[in-house]
Chain A
Amino acid sequence: MKYKKEIQDELDELSPFLSELKQKKTGMELPEHYFDFLTASVMEQVVLIPKPSSSVLPTAKPVWYAFLFNKHIWSGLAMTLLLLVTILFFRNQPISDEPAFAEISSEEAVIYIAAHLEDFEPALFTEGDFIEEIEATKIDDAEVDLYLEEIIEDLDIETLEELF
């Protein structure tokens, strides 16, 4: 190799004495079959060392595995479930404890109003809904005339003068 020659040339130039000494035996020796013994001895020791595979090389896991053991996914699902149950629970509850007006018949309403007439503001009776309610009862005109005559008879002359 090129660099081996460079090393030798450098040494030849620096110290011909050491260059010559390099060609001779160093005197260092080895036991017979040392490297065979070394290989066997080292391999015996390394088989007892736990392999790095399990901790160092992670194995690929399927997608469902990640889903199954992901605490964020599970907490998100729990929150969503809680929210849905809350919504469903409150949707089935009545908004108010008062009876629904649709269930009250017109007759019941008239009886109630007549009994509690003093509790209502007079202006209420001029509002559209109440007039329509009265019209919807279909009172006969003759009954109205008769009712008015009775009222007029009950009134004194001074009151009649004030009205007209």
Chain B
Amino acid sequence: MQILSLVRDPTRIEEGFRLLLQQYQERLYWHIRRLVIQHDDANDVLQNVLIKVYRNIHNFKGQAQLYTWLYRIATNETLTFLKKKNKKSAISLEQEIINLADTLKADEYFDGSEVQLKLQQAILTLPEKQKLIFLMRYFEGLPYQEISTILDTSVGGLKASYHHAVKKIEMFIKEI
């Protein structure tokens, strides 16, 4: 793989890293954005992720696919960010759902319909792991095997979680 051979060469690491950005930054951005919702938060988290990737790219052994390794770092960094944010606000889920609606309506980088807003609120009600599985499968179109590697969960468990998530979201949107 060209990116890996370049980033392992100290004289060409920046060239290799630029290629890595071109190839993966957009996918990583959307993965993070769907979890944190707001663009500014996604931008902050993504920059931290990419700096972390640059610092540790020489430790990547190449046993997994590069983007699986990148997704893992992005997921961990995003969950840490969300935990810190939730700890600061310390509000109930119901209040969080209301706040999200207000935030999205005010966000200059959100231009969704009412049903899209409800979809985001429904996703917010899911437990953490179900949320990750739903986003990776529904929006990013990842096969179960890859989600299993990223989240370190069995394929059987993933299927059950995804099916539950889909049903819950449908119910949430239709009920409101």
> Is A15's CB under 8 angstroms from B39's CB?
no
A22 vs B115: C-alpha distance in the bound complex, in angstroms? 11
> Is A17's CB under 8 angstroms from B174's CB?
yes
> Is A22's CB under 8 angstroms from B138's CB?
yes
8 Å CB contact of A7 from B43, B141, B167, B169:
B141
B105 to chain A, nearest CB (A): 11
Interface 9-residue window, one of B11-19, B61-69, B81-89: B11-19
> Is A56's CB under 8 angstroms from B58's CB?
yes
Residues of B within 8 A of A18 (CB): 138, 166, 169-170
Interface 9-residue window, one of A25-33, A90-98, A141-149: A25-33
Interface 9-residue window, one of A44-52, A60-68, A69-77, A130-138: A44-52
Is B128 in contact with chain A by the CB < 8 A criterion? no
Please name the residue on chain B nearest to A39 by beta carbon: B21
A3 vs B137: C-alpha distance in the bound complex, in angstroms? 11
B174 to chain A, nearest CB (A): 7
> Is A38's CB under 8 angstroms from B43's CB?
yes
> Is A29's CB under 8 angstroms from B51's CB?
no
> Is A24's CB under 8 angstroms from B50's CB?
no
Residues of B within 8 A of A46 (CB): 14, 17, 51, 54
Is A85 in contact with chain B by the CB < 8 A criterion? no
Q: A7-B141, A27-B110, A39-B25 are in contact. Are A15 and B170 (CB under 8 A)?
A: yes
B29 to chain A, nearest CB (A): 8
Is B33 in contact with chain A by the CB < 8 A criterion? yes
> Is B39's CB under 8 angstroms from A27's CB?
no
A88 vs B137: C-alpha distance in the bound complex, in angstroms? 85
Is A126 in contact with chain B by the CB < 8 A criterion? no
A42 vs B46: C-alpha distance in the bound complex, in angstroms? 10
Q: A14-B167, A27-B110, A43-B18 are in contact. Are A51 and B10 (CB under 8 A)?
A: yes
A28 vs B109: C-alpha distance in the bound complex, in angstroms? 6
B12 to chain A, nearest CB (A): 11
Is B143 in contact with chain A by the CB < 8 A criterion? yes
Is A4 in contact with chain B by the CB < 8 A criterion? yes
> Is A51's CB under 8 angstroms from B13's CB?
yes
**A interface with B by C-beta (< 8 Å):** 3-4, 6-7, 11, 14-15, 17-18, 21-22, 24-31, 34-35, 38-39, 41-43, 45-47, 49, 51-53, 56-57
**B interface with A by C-beta (< 8 Å):** 10-11, 13-14, 17-18, 21-22, 25-26, 29-30, 33-34, 39, 43, 46-47, 50-51, 54-55, 58, 104, 109-113, 115-117, 119, 137-139, 141, 143, 163, 166-167, 169-170, 173-174
